[in-house]
Amino acid sequence: MNMRHEIIRGLKTEWYDNGNIGKPVIFFQHGFPDHPYIWSKQFEEFNLDFHLIAPSLRGVGNSAEGEGLSRCSFLAYELDMTEVLERSGVNQSEKIIFIAHDISGPYIEQFSNSFPDRVLGVVYLNSMPMRLARKRLLKPFQMLKSWYIAPFVTPIANRFFVSMLLEQYLKRFCPEFFDSHNRLELREAQNLLKYYQYLGTELVNFSPEPISADCESLLIFGNKDPFVDVPKGSDLDTLGSVCTLRVIEGNHWIQDTQFQQVNRILRGFIDERIRSVGKSNPEKQKRA
Amino acid sequence: MSVFAVLGNQTQKNKKEHSSGSSDVNPGMLLEFRKSQSLAYGCAIEIAQLLRVGWTEKKTAKMMDQWLGDHGVRSFFHKSFAWFGDRTRFQGFKHYTDFLPSKRVLSEDDVIILDTAPIFNGYTSDIGFTFALKPNEALNQARADLLYFRDLIPKLFMKSECLGEVWRAVDFELVRMQYDNCHAEYPFGVLGHRIHQIPLSRFPGLSVPFSVHAFWSLLSRGLMPELLSENHRGKKEGLWAIEPHLGTQGFGIKFEEILVVDDNGARWLTDDVPHLNIPSGLY
C-alpha cells in the first residue's frame, strides 16, 4: 500500500493515497481498534476509478499522537484533514465521498458540516453521526451494547482494560476481527483510546452547530454487530438530511467480512451521488 | 483644525513627566515578538480561508485557538474572538459578555473580524484582521480609511507629549471622517495596550477570555499606564498593541498590531500584515 508520511502542523501524519489525482475522491476513515488496512477490499474495488485517501487516526501506524487529547478533537481533525486533502492534491472545489467506520462517524459528520461545499455524500458503516449517537445511547439496548465505553473513557485504567480484556472479548464476540487485524499492535489500540476519551466528553458537552450540510448520507449496519444496535427509521429524523439506511447480514467489520455486498452498495451510492452533481436542490426524501 | 493642531492644544505641564526614557526591548526580543505576531496572523489568515457560511463565531474562535495550540501556543493573553456582521461594530453591546464569541452564524455578505492574542515562547502578540468572503465596496473604502490611521498613529506617538493626546487625536479624526469610535466601547475604552514578555507562560491561563497572564502583566504594572485610554498618564516607550476600530453603516473594521516606541521613534513592528496585502480568496 502506498502510505504517505508528512509532518502536518508539527506532527508526523500517515495516510494511504493511491495518487489518482483528478479522479473523484473517496475518503475513508477507520475506527477503533483499526488502521487504514481495514479498507483493503474497498481499495481493490475502487482503486482504478477513484482517488482514494485513507488517513490513520493519531497514534496508529506512523501518525504521531498529540499532547493529551488536543489532537483528538473535532476541530483538530478538521484542520488535519483539510491539510491531508490539500497535500493529496485534492482541489478545494472537488466534492468528496466520505466513508466512516465505528468511532470516526462523529468526526466525519463534523467535517462535512464544517465544509458542506466539499461533500458529495457520507457513508456511515456501523457508525453514527454524533447527533444520532447521543440519541441512540439513551436507548436501553444500545446502552447494553456500549457497556465498554465507561472503562474506555476512564484515564489510565482504560489502557489496562484494553491490554487485559480487549483481545479475549473480541475473540469471543468478533472472531473475524483477527482475520484482518494482524498488523495492529496493542500500543496503537491503547493510543486510540484518546478518541474515546474525547468523544466521552463530547457526548456530555456536545453543542451541535447549526446544520449547514444537507448532504445525502447512507448508513450501513451489520445486523449482528455486537457494539452497535441498528437504529430505527424514526431515529433518522435527528439527522435532518437525506439519508438511506441499509441493514445487511454481518458483524462489526462488514467492509472486510461482507465486502462484496458492501462494495456493491457503496458503488451504487457513489455512482448515484456522482450523477447528481450539479443538481442544486435534490428532492428531500427519507428511505428506510 | 488638523489632527496635529489637536495635539498642539494640549498643555505642556506634564512634559517632563512624560518625556522619553530608554526602552527595555532589545532587537532579540523584537524578533521573538515578531515571530509571535506572524504566528497569530498566520492563524487568522488560514482560518479566514477555511471559514464557511454557516459557521458560528464560537466555532471560528475555537478553531483559531485549536490552530494556535497545535502550533505550540500554550497560553493566551486573551483567547480568540470572532465577530460577524453588525457585531463587528459592537452594535447593541451592553455587557462585557457581549464581546465573547456568540452563536451568531456567518452569512455570505458579512464583514468578519478575527482577533487573537497568543503568548508564543513567552512573547505576547495581539492581532486583529477584518475581511469579507466576497467583494465589498464599502469595506474597501473603510479599509482605505483605516490604513490612513496606520500611517497617522506612529506620527501621533512621536509628536504627542502624553498618550491621552493620541487617543483624542484619533477620536477627532474618526469623527471628522464620519466614523464611530468603536474602540471606545472596549473595556476601559482603550485604543491599545502595552504588551510584554510573559514569565511562566507554559502554565495555562485559567481564566477566559483574558488569562491570568494578562491580568498579571497589566495589574502588576499599575494597569492604567498599560492602557492607551483617553486619560492615559505614563511614559510612552515600549511595545503597544494598537487597535483602532472604526464603525460605519452595518459593520466595523479594525486592525491590531504591535507598535514599537523607543528612542528612535515609533514604528510598526513589521509591514508584513494582511491588511496591507489581502490574502487570496479574501476581500
**B47's grid cell:** 482560518
Using the beta-carbon criterion (under 8 Å), do A210 and B56 form an inter-chain contact?
yes
Using the beta-carbon criterion (under 8 Å), do A79 and B67 form an inter-chain contact?
yes
Find residues 85-114 of chain A whose CB sits inside 8 Å of chain B: 114
Using the beta-carbon criterion (under 8 Å), do A212 and B55 form an inter-chain contact?
yes
A78 touching chain B per CB within 8 A: yes
Measured between CB atoms, which of B52, B67, B72 is closest to A114? Answer: B52
Q: What is the pLDDT of residues A187-201, one digit of tens each?
A: 888 888 889 889 888
* Chosen from A212, A214, A215 to mutate, greatest number of chain B CBs within 10 A: A212
State the pLDDT at residue A279: 55
Three-state DSSP class for residue B116: strand
Sheet holding B180-181, edge to edge: B180-181, B245-248, B251-254
CA distance A212 to A190: 34
Measured between CB atoms, which of A9, A78, A115 is closest to B71? Answer: A9
Q: Which residue of A has its CA nearest to B55?
A: A114
Measured between CB atoms, which of A9, A115, A209 is closest to B59? Answer: A209
B44 to chain A nearest CA, in Å?
Answer: 13
Using the beta-carbon criterion (under 8 Å), do A212 and B56 form an inter-chain contact?
no
Chain B residues near residue A79 by CB distance under 8 angstroms = 50, 63, 66-67, 70
Using the beta-carbon criterion (under 8 Å), do B70 and A117 form an inter-chain contact?
no
A112 to chain B nearest CA, in Å?
Answer: 11
Using the beta-carbon criterion (under 8 Å), do A117 and B52 form an inter-chain contact?
yes
State the pLDDT at residue A48: 94
Q: Can you list the pairs that B216-221 forms with residues at least 24 positions away whose Cβ atoms lie under 8 Å?
A: B217/B77, B217/B124, B218/B193, B218/B194, B221/B194, B221/B196
A9 to chain B nearest CA, in Å?
Answer: 6
Using the beta-carbon criterion (under 8 Å), do A75 and B72 form an inter-chain contact?
no
Find residues 170-229 of chain A whose CB sits inside 8 Å of chain B: 209-210, 212
A74 to chain B nearest CA, in Å?
Answer: 10
For residue A81, CA distances in Å to A23, A86, B67 come to: 18, 8, 13
Chain B residues near residue A71 by CB distance under 8 angstroms = 70
Pairing of strands A286-287, A243-248: parallel
Pairing of strands B192-194, B127-132: unpaired
Chain A residues near residue B67 by CB distance under 8 angstroms = 9, 79
Interior CA angle at A186 toward A185 and A188, to 5°? 70
A277 to chain B nearest CA, in Å?
Answer: 20
Contacts of A108 (CB under 8 A, 6+ apart): A29, A98, A99, A100, A122, A124, A129
A69 to chain B nearest CA, in Å?
Answer: 11
Using the beta-carbon criterion (under 8 Å), do A76 and B105 form an inter-chain contact?
no
B139 CB neighbour count, 10 Å cutoff: 22
Give every residue of chain A whose pLDDT is below 70, as ranges. 1, 176-184, 209-214, 240-241, 278-288
CA distance B229 to B168: 9
CA distance B103 to B110: 14
Give every residue of chain B whose pLDDT is below 50, as ranges. 10-22
Q: What is the pLDDT of residues A74-95, one digit of tens each?
A: 999 999 999 999 999 999 889 9
Chain A residues near residue B50 by CB distance under 8 angstroms = 79, 82, 115
B30: left (phi over 0), alpha (psi -120 to 50) or beta: alpha
A82 touching chain B per CB within 8 A: yes
Using the beta-carbon criterion (under 8 Å), do A209 and B53 form an inter-chain contact?
no
